[in-house]
Amino acid sequence: MDTEPVGKTQFIRALDVIIIGPVMMRAAYELRESSPLLALVLGSSGVATIIYNWANAAEQSRRSAALRRQGVSQLRSAETLAALRRGPRS
């Protein structure tokens, strides 16, 4: 299983949550007097970016943890099967 794309995707999600979303919200705050509609759209997009990417990162982490547990379980099953095939040790 190739984990490289997942790592890159998680990095981009972290970037969205930590930098891009807050920058959008700060820009909205600065524009609130001069362009209220743009500020509303920008601020809403910033909040949506943070929530969406945070939720996706959490889901990906849950999936990765489940796959790791499943892999360990399968490994243990394979070791048990191999031990049964070998028979009792003397």
Q: Would you say 26 and 42 are in contact if contact means Cβ atoms under 8 Å apart?
A: no
**Residue found under tokens 């190739």:** 2
Report the pLDDT averaged over residues 71-87. 66
Task: State mean pLDDT over 46-70.
Answer: 87
**How many domains does the chain divide into?**
1
Domain that includes residue 67, residue range: 4-86
- Please tell me which residue, 34 or 64, carries the higher pLDDT value: 34
Handedness of CA 42, 44, 47, 49 (dihedral sign): negative
Q: Is the pLDDT of residue 59 over 90?
A: no
Does residue 56 carry a pLDDT above 80? Answer: yes
pLDDT score for 51: 96
pTM, to two decimals = 0.67
pLDDT band at residue 88 under the 50/70/90 scheme: low
What integer pLDDT is reported at residue 57 of this predicted model? 87
